[in-house]
Amino acid sequence: MADIVEEIYALKKEKHAIILAHYYVPDEVQEIADYVGDSFFLSKKAKETDAEIIVFAGVLFMGESAKMLNPQKKVLMPDRTADCPMAHMGTVASIAQARAAYDDLAVVCYINSTTALKAASDVCVTSSNAVTIVKKLPNHHIFFTPDRNLGHYVASQVPDKHFIYNNGFCPRHESIEPAAVTAAKAAHPEALFLAHPECRPDVLAMADYIGSTSGIIQYASASAQREFIIGTEEGVFYELTTANPHKQFYPVMGDQYCINMKKVTLDKVRNCLRDETNEVTLDETIRRKAVGVLDKMLELAK
């Protein structure tokens, strides 16, 4: 393992590359990354960087967003098949349908989406900025796509607007059920329950805190409490335990991992950087349309 890490560091230097990693990729990949963060933080880093190559240790929509924001850079994916199923649960046709039904409508697209879906939307959001951004929109009707759970959570925080929901969801977060949370709370009665807004509304109703991966980590780190039940993908445990060695973190249940994020291994990071393979390419016409919604997100999130 030491050899491969050395090789990655040498390649990064030689090629003037940067490695961006999401909190859900395996621990050893988070360890060698230049920046680890939530989707919002990583999109800002992708836009700002002056590196020539961006290796995106995450799923495809993240690499595509990086390419949209910084098209002159080479964006490489360690595993081209690491894709988020929810990104494909929204359709351009459903957006057209909503636009036909409502005059004063904004189409709000979660960043976990395809480039085509972004291109047909009005603004992009991530789990850490969705509430702030939707509150700033002048429109009364909001079509939220593709995640119904994040959509319902945002609606609960912005009650004066009318929401229409696409029916997508994250299979990983959706599988966390209230009964499992009840059991985890019974096993750890002192623990606070921190949940990602991709969880179902009946699970979020049981949470002491709701936020993005970064939000969960910041909340647990700042809290005087010492025990936490974590309602999101288990990759966040790496940062949670590194930053808080004296606190205890428990998953709600046993298999809280995203198979796509776990496809990103050190070998694949090294290979894509060494061979410059799995480059993200986008049709320029669609990219131009889609980048507008990401730029609008970066502007409105300020």
Which stretch in 101-109, 120-128, 132-140, 267-275 sits in contact with ligand 13P by CB under 6 A? 120-128
Neighbouring-strand partners of residue 19: 55
Is residue 85 a contact partner of residue 72, using CB atoms and an 8 Å limit?
A: no
Residue 254: count other Cβ atoms within 10 Å of its Cβ: 8
Q: Which of 181, 260, 266, 272 binds ligand SF4 (CB under 6 A)?
A: 260
For ligand SF4, give the closer residue by CB, 96 or 259: 259
- Look at residue 294 and give the partner it binds from ligand SF4, ligand 13P, none, a contact being a CB closer than 5 to 8 Å depending on partner kind: none
Q: Write down the least CB distance from residue 99 to ligand SF4, Å.
A: 25
Q: Which of 125, 258, 272, 290 binds ligand SF4 (CB under 6 A)?
A: 258
Report angle CA 193, 211, 58 to the nearest 5 degrees: 110
- Look at residue 65 and give the partner it binds from ligand 13P, ligand SF4, none, a contact being a CB closer than 5 to 8 Å depending on partner kind: none
The sheet carrying 35-37 orders its strands as 35-37, 17-22, 53-57, 74-76
- Look at residue 287 and give the partner it binds from ligand 13P, ligand SF4, none, a contact being a CB closer than 5 to 8 Å depending on partner kind: none
Binding-residue pattern over the window 39 to 78 for ligand 13P, x denoting contact by CB under 6 A: xx--------------------------------------
Residues 42, 165: Cα–Cα separation, whole Å = 26
Query: Of 216, 225, 217, which is closest to residue 198 (Cα–Cα)?
Result: 216
Can you give 99-140 as a three-state secondary structure string? HHHCCCEEEEEECCCCHHHHHCCCEEECCCCHHHHHHHCCCC
- 127 binds ligand 13P per the rule CB under 6 A: yes
Q: Write down the least CB distance from residue 89 to ligand 13P, Å.
A: 13
Size of the site for ligand 13P (CB under 6 A): 13
Query: Of 69, 76, 71, which is closest to residue 15 (Cα–Cα)?
Result: 76
Residues 65, 78: Cα–Cα separation, whole Å = 16
Name the phi and psi angles at 142, rounded to 5. Answer: -125, 120
User: In 8-161, where do the E strands start and end?
Assistant: 17-22, 35-37, 53-57, 74-76, 105-110, 123-125, 141-145
- 121 binds ligand 13P per the rule CB under 6 A: no
- Look at residue 39 and give the partner it binds from ligand SF4, ligand 13P, none, a contact being a CB closer than 5 to 8 Å depending on partner kind: ligand 13P
Is residue 263 a contact partner of residue 82, using CB atoms and an 8 Å limit?
A: yes
Residues 276, 77: Cα–Cα separation, whole Å = 9
Binding positions for ligand SF4, 227-256, rule CB under 6 A? 233
Q: Write down the least CB distance from residue 59 to ligand 13P, Å.
A: 6
- 29 binds ligand SF4 per the rule CB under 6 A: no
Q: Which of 21, 86, 105, 301 binds ligand SF4 (CB under 6 A)?
A: 86
- Look at residue 126 and give the partner it binds from ligand SF4, ligand 13P, none, a contact being a CB closer than 5 to 8 Å depending on partner kind: ligand 13P
Q: Write down the least CB distance from residue 208 to ligand 13P, Å.
A: 17
Which spans of this chain sit near ligand 13P (rule: CB under 6 A)? 38-40, 84, 112, 126-128, 170, 196, 198, 212-213
